[in-house]
Amino acid sequence: MRLFIAIELDDSIKKSLTGAMHDLKKSGVRGSYTASNNLHLTLAFIGEVEDALELKTALQSVSFKPFKLSLSDFGNFEDILWIGVKGNQGLSQAAKGVREALDQAGISYDRKKFTPHITLVRKAAGSWKTVKPPKGEMMVKKISLMKSSVKDGKTVYTRVLSV
């Protein structure tokens, strides 16, 4: 199964992001838009795993204090358009704690530099410069182990465990 560790977003943030994606479409930005129920912030991408028991145990060892997550500005990695989040010590500590727990358990994961973002459009084409970034914030009280699967040709993210 294909796994990642993420912050699940609350409904108010998803609504704000969905509105921004609607504005992007109206301004002519084309691409593969993220389904609103799949919007999340990845802390660590694990990839294919046969047995998630060690991963679940590692995740349960992570502790962090609740923190506020606030949306920021649009950004991109080549043709991936995303919305960033404001820099914040709580988020940095949660990401660091997750990665340290994975390291201690000997679990491999994508070690790219952590750049907190929420992917909105893959294979994006067109200019988003005229679209106002969405506003929103939420309290983060848990992190989740998520499974990515394909059902009826669509990617679906399902929570496996939250801590």
pLDDT at position 87, please?
80
pLDDT in tens, 2-32: 999 999 999 999 999 999 999 999 999 999 9
**Calpha distance 160→144 (Å, rounded):** 7
Instruction: Give the amino acid at 128.
Output: W
DSSP one-letter string for 44-96: EEEEE-S--HHHHHHHHT-----EEEEEEEEEEETTEEEEEE---HHHHHHHH
pLDDT in tens, 89-128: 999 999 999 999 999 999 999 999 999 999 999 999 999 9
Which positions are annotated as active-site residues? 40, 117
pLDDT at position 53, please?
87
**Nearest 5°: phi and psi at 132?**
-75, 135
| Domain covering 2-155: architecture | Alpha-Beta Complex (3.90)
- Are 3 and 42 a contacting pair, CB within 8 Å? no
pTM metric for this prediction? 0.92
pLDDT in tens, 50-89: 888 889 999 999 988 999 999 999 999 999 999 999 988 9
β-bridge partners, 147: 3, 158
* Tokens (6 digits) for 93: 């500590």
pLDDT at position 52, please?
87
pLDDT at position 134, please?
95
**Calpha distance 113→63 (Å, rounded):** 21
- Ordered by start, the domain boundaries in the chain are 2-155
Residue 153 has pLDDT above 90, yes or no: no
pLDDT at position 69, please?
96
